[in-house]
A = this chain, B = another copy of it.
Amino acid sequence: MIASSQKHWIGDVADLLRVGDGFVLADVDTRSTPGYAKDKVQAAEDLSAGAAQLDEYQERLYARSRVDATDAAVLLVLQAMDSAGKGGIIRHVVGSVDPQGIVLSAFKKPTPEELEHDFLWRVEQRLPVSGLIGVFDRSHYEDVLIGRVRQLAPAEEIERRYGAINEFEKRLTDTGTRVVKVMLHISPDVQKKRLMERLERPDKHWKYNPGDVDERELWPSYMAAYQTVFDRTSTEHAPWHVVPADRKWYARLAVQHLLLEALEDIDPHWPAATFDVEAEKKRLAAS
């Protein structure tokens, strides 16, 4: 399905990006722009048009949740290697929506209290209620990514988590939440270039962490952990999308499209009035 007014795509983008049977992460060209044949300048225009659409869809979703008995919500799960552009997606795609319609959660290193609970405990508390778009900047997948690479839990526990995640996400989709899972995929060379830029600009130093260089040595282990995530958790109800992200403008347009599709699938209409409109006009006029 293609969000109906998104005429700038060639083919079914979501389908092109979706992780299906036999998907091999190593085969993805991180510089490619699946489904899009225009350039960066035109992409900015298309992004801007999509922003207005996204904002209206979200407002409809919210409006309906205030009036009708609906449990429809959207959850965007963002995962990526450092500097792949999660922050830019949040600023430029999510940021075009009314802040009142967004609930954003950044999952960092778990606190001691969080570690006392199952890994899904802290995630559960941050789920969007109906009418909202939830955004996870990192997520429960950290517990099978860095968790696996850095052996932060026993192997059997890591194994258990894939099934637990699938059941958890099934419960979300069964109760009305569209789960949009995105991995922003960059090459190690592009990461090196972006980290170097952070070092070259004093206003970007704060974004640089010497630990990032150490993590780079584990790149192959992370890619293997992502491949396992895709093999085990790209389900029919909550599939993964791998978005080539060497070109930031493409990644933003693609993620915007995936959100638009999720909202179009919900198809939120403005809710009907639950009061007598003409009678209220009279009452208000007399007030």
Contacts and interface: CB of A to CB of B under 8 A. Distances in A.
Interface of A: 63-64, 66-67, 87, 90-91, 94-95, 98-100, 102, 104, 106, 135, 137, 192, 195-196, 199-200, 202-203, 205-208, 210, 213, 216-217, 270-273, 275, 277, 280-281, 283-285, 287
Contacts of A66: 206
A273 B99 CA distance: 32
9 contacts: A64-B206, A66-B206, A67-B206, A91-B98, A91-B99, A95-B98, A99-B104, A205-B277, A217-B287
B281 A196 contact: yes
Contact of A280 (B99, B203, B208, B283): B208
A99 B270 CA distance: 26
* Count of identical protomers in the assembly: 2
Contacts of A91: 98-100
A275 B212 CA distance: 13
A206 B270 contact: yes
